[in-house]
Structure 1
């Protein structure tokens, strides 16, 4: 997609109208008229502007949506879930003018775990970058992959898809953005390809997961069906979604490799790193660099083992990367003060990414404090209950897709919706397995685009890819995935799990 296509239709129409007005009045306008002044170039809104605007919009909606709540209880698995049939209205608590600004601070507090995880990981990679090992490694890979760069994409995406499909890889993808975006630029692609390899790989696997304990495990537990049952069909769905994601990124990468100027990120990537084909002053890969890269590899392996077998989350992962940073600093013969300074510099580079998470959580704070989420859930569940049986499964799928923008946590959405969708599926003739499957796909697809997703917005900020450009690049894939998802949910309802 060319850079010239970045001007939106409304702006083009606005310019056309301006031109028409000037033409009608050009007889009476002096030669030095302001019409000769160069028009300002359209500027995409900053991610902070987008997120704050969403906070304001949600705050306005709290005056229109009635407040209501479901009663909640703790399930046998220890999950706090809503109790179906207990919805009741409560006193309205809309977000006031000052509350909009308070939501930003409260969002920062809510997202503190992820925010400081980003800062610690950024600091660790700052130390790693100070050793020049990554720079040398990227140069070596660039030379060895010459002419075969395209094969890197399916291999990397398959690894992330496996992570998403098994242990629900999400926030864990953030550190890899720091590695794969520079690599993609170095070997002749762009930052969209580097970001896509990580996020589309992980989110495609997450969407069609076959053993994700945070989505399938929680949802099936609440729906009272055997844990990880329906595995065969889910693995087939996983292959379908992952194949679509890999094909999309690979085809785009081939186009950008042949025509770099067609990238929406072309100018930004060149400004960021200079000419990717410039071989001057390239670091030579030494044995010390290899040793440092080996420590990084062991850290990643340790991360996978910890998450898979020991229920690690961001606290443990942050500790792993902090330890890695200190070790590679020592191995790289950095002085103690140099290690500290490199850590600070690395954290500074990710300040935007951390703050983005807080703003995204601010949107959720507005909905939670106004007690409007349960009202939305109650309304859409009633709507599904009145649909013909043949459309009930699709209704659940659409509902889960919509609710994921409001509750981007997979396990949180399962705890919120499945206690209602389970009895609703019994009443409408939809099997409980299909209800879980509709939740799974509806919860997963929009993870790649929802602005309330802290991990997504942080990853884009770290990759320096504007959210608007990301959406512009990704929307065809999202449409394909939603369409395929609708077909698969219908197939599951009519053929695989018939009730």
Structure 2
């Protein structure tokens, strides 16, 4: 009798996240509860590093475990509905055929030199991630780059990586990101954007390594498409570009693309000049969808149907954001997050000064899996790490660098990162497939970060 070999299946992301939530519920009975006081500094709520006290335990029971997911969904509602509206509006844009027509001609023009597009486009996204902290703002480009990558003989993983890894490498190696570098230095009392030279070098190395790694993968997939884990899925995508049977590119398509370009210009202006965030960006794309549908002759019912299909396509990935938020819900309810921070600070203070900076870096890397928000993580950890750095002979500038790298590198790996999971939802790439693909690059970037943190420690990176 033949015995069928059972392959080890990677758990569905919902199962994985529920398992993590359950683990933290169990740990709430074991880890002592504790709290730091929060104080307001320059309009920001930060942790008072000297205020930690243990409090009565508030373990999370079965009902708390079960309600953490709906509560997480409610708390993440802004992100989730942002994904729905942007995903649906981008699908409306794709249904007009203007994007396909334009990308098809671009792919034909670069036929034979497709790889040259990768570093150019990734550099643009990396600059946005480094200078203005582009993250959620890059999401509308993901479906477009997926279509372009497939048309040029690559795969959806390459198209998604051009956006996520480009912006992500710039974000991790940022030299002027106001949401990480600016906030962290402000809390630490450092001159804003001081220490620029080393961060520029970090940006160049991080982005270059990332681009070369993705180009190597893209070349391999183009040579042997079956090597892609997304090969079967990409073959069935309805939005594929057929280069031999391109849609006409006339005045209507030009007007639609002009509306899309105006949307992007307004997006950049709104984020930089008006402080727009998810609600305003979602409203902008909702308006874009209506306008391009009318120009494209879809009519109101055609628009509504396309919007619904687009929302349905991203629903599974969008809801992951709420499941991930449930982890933070449990840690907050049980008052264990501050205890973990307190223990980590005590552990780092016991390390020799020569390796404390590396210990800070490791701690920030781990903390980012729990608190993926850059400014949020700065508000939680820098008030503890800055005075700790003074005690153990590490400069505050080095502590801020460790935070920046630890916060940025895993943002496009951890399932608790809302915008990242939104990006995978828009690309329709399962998290397990992305994680397996991205893991080698993740370790390379971690290694680059470690080298720079050690160098900062050895050179007394300052001004203080």
- Taking the aligned partners of 2:250 and 2:12, their CA distance within structure 1 comes to 41
* Contact 1:364 1:452 survives alignment (8 Å): no
2:173 is equivalent to residue 208 of structure 1:
yes
In structure 2, the residue corresponding to 1:225 is in which secondary structure?
A: coil
1:251 to partner: Cα distance: 0.7
1:280 to partner: Cα distance: 5.7
Choose from 462, 485, 489 the match for 2:426. 462
Choose from 398, 413, 419 the match for 2:377. 413
In structure 2, the residue corresponding to 1:400 is in which secondary structure?
A: helix
TM-score relative to the length of structure 1: 0.89
In structure 1, the residue corresponding to 2:385 is in which secondary structure?
A: helix
Alignment of 1:432-471 (within 5 A): 432-471=396-435
Structure of higher CA gyration radius: 1
In structure 2, the residue corresponding to 1:74 is in which secondary structure?
A: strand
Aligned to 2:24: 58
* Contact 1:124 1:321 survives alignment (8 Å): yes
Choose from 336, 358, 362 the match for 2:322. 358
Aligned to 2:206: 241
- Taking the aligned partners of 2:308 and 2:105, their CA distance within structure 1 comes to 28
2:176 is equivalent to residue 218 of structure 1:
no
Choose from 333, 347, 355 the match for 2:297. 333
2:97 is equivalent to residue 135 of structure 1:
no
Aligned to 2:144: 179
**How many residue pairs end up in the alignment?**
463
CA deviations on 1:250-308 (whole Å, 9 max, x unpaired) are 1100111111111111122113359x685565322222112211211221122122212
- Taking the aligned partners of 2:250 and 2:7, their CA distance within structure 1 comes to 46
Aligned to 1:84: 49
Q: Report the CA distance shift for 1:327/1:437 in structure 2 as closer, same or farther (over 3 A).
A: same
In structure 2, the residue corresponding to 1:209 is in which secondary structure?
A: coil
CA deviations on 1:13-66 (whole Å, 9 max, x unpaired) are xxxxxxxxxxxxxxxxxxxxxx43645555433222222222222222222211
Choose from 173, 185, 196 the match for 1:231. 196
Aligned to 1:16: none
- Taking the aligned partners of 1:398 and 1:38, their CA distance within structure 2 comes to 42
TM-score relative to the length of structure 2: 0.96
1:68 to partner: Cα distance: 0.6
- Taking the aligned partners of 2:15 and 2:52, their CA distance within structure 1 comes to 35
2:154 is equivalent to residue 189 of structure 1:
yes
Q: Report the CA distance shift for 1:464/1:429 in structure 2 as closer, same or farther (over 3 A).
A: same
CA deviations on 1:417-450 (whole Å, 9 max, x unpaired) are 1111111111111111111111111111111211
In structure 1, the residue corresponding to 2:46 is in which secondary structure?
A: strand
Gaps (5+ residues) in structure 1? 1-34
Aligned to 2:11: 45
Choose from 202, 221, 224 the match for 1:256. 221
Per mean C-alpha deviation after superposition, the further-off stretch among 367-376 and 283-292 is 283-292
Choose from 438, 451, 457 the match for 1:487. 451
- Taking the aligned partners of 2:115 and 2:243, their CA distance within structure 1 comes to 20
- Taking the aligned partners of 1:393 and 1:127, their CA distance within structure 2 comes to 49
Gaps (5+ residues) in structure 2? none
